[in-house]
Structure 1
């Protein structure tokens, strides 16, 4: 595949990014154009990967001092003094499996190191399982550094810690992942 470019997101990209996100909402969370504008404003890194003139995907990450309110981001804030938190990466189904996600991550890794940030963190579901994400992150050097149980819906607010209290119909188990860039 040729003619690939990674560039910063502009407001003109928002509609396409929301469309891409909607196609993968089972693995991300819903996001309107207004939500995206808010996330973009507080993000540290927000870039798209272009194939020719088509936006094939995007990656959105928050820095350690972001005003982001999210259970997973808050977990990392307790455990790491400095990190880049990957809020979401989405690729158009047509471009999945073509190493574009890996290119976006490598770009983020380089950018994070330029900012003197050595930890890139993210999470993915282990219950229900997201095996493609698990394999992808393992290949890129991510390791599990913890987990938490989170509610599946906004109606259920309890974050659980004891396995015996878990109801998989109301909660999901999230693997907290870290890639230490200081060893690269």
Structure 2
């Protein structure tokens, strides 16, 4: 299992694989065109894949030029943070720990940059019990809720890195 930090431009094959992964999880993540996905990866604080497209994480920090209402919710409340915008794992690789590896890579990049707070949101409407359980296991705690313009209900979560061990995965 190899975690690789993403840089743009992406190869057409990798962009196609990552776009397909994002679209497979569009209910939880939101749909993006391939061009918008690549643009988000390019502007992100940190983006990585597992095994060339079987997993994806995109994280922004407070300085990322991003207009997501969820990101903006955190920006209003925290002066410094890393926001996990999206994480997805292909259905054929679920249960192998890929999401945890991707989060560990985000944690390592955040620590290296001096960040102490990781934030994200998880849908409660429609419900996402697998993501709820995953984030709870990692130690995330709810810090707010919102109903978005599209009707989705989200829970805003926060994790303080100072309370975690210092395991740092290797990135290729």
Q: TM-score, normalised by structure 1?
A: 0.84
Residue matched to 1:85: 83
In structure 2, distance between residues paired with 1:134 and 1:113: 24
Secondary structure in structure 1 of the residue aligned to 2:65: coil
Equivalent position SS for 2:35: helix
CA distance in 2, matches of 1:68, 1:43: 9
For 2:158 and 2:84, the matched residues in 1 are separated by: 10
Q: C-alpha displacement at 1:172, in angstroms?
A: 2.1
- Number of paired residues? 160
Q: Does 1:123 align with 2:121?
A: yes
Q: 1:6 aligns with which of 3, 7, 19?
A: 3
Partner of 1:162: none
Match of 2:42 in 1: 41
Q: Which runs of 5+ in 1 are unaligned?
A: 153-170
Structure having the higher Rg:
1
Which residue number in structure 2 is paired with residue 75 of structure 1? 73
What are the superposed Cα offsets for residues 57-107 of structure 1, whole Å, 9 maximum, x if unpaired? 110011110110110000000111111111101111001111110111011
Residue 178 of structure 1, aligned match among 153, 158, 164: 158
In the alignment, which residue of structure 2 is the partner of 1:165?
A: none
Q: Equivalences for 1:11-160 in 2 at 5 Å?
A: 11-12=10-11, 13-50=14-51, 54-152=52-150
State the superposition RMSD in angstroms: 1.1
- 1: distance between equivalents of 2:127 and 2:106? 25
* 1:116 Cα deviation after fit: 0.5
Q: Distance in 2 between matches of 1:15 and 1:8?
A: 17
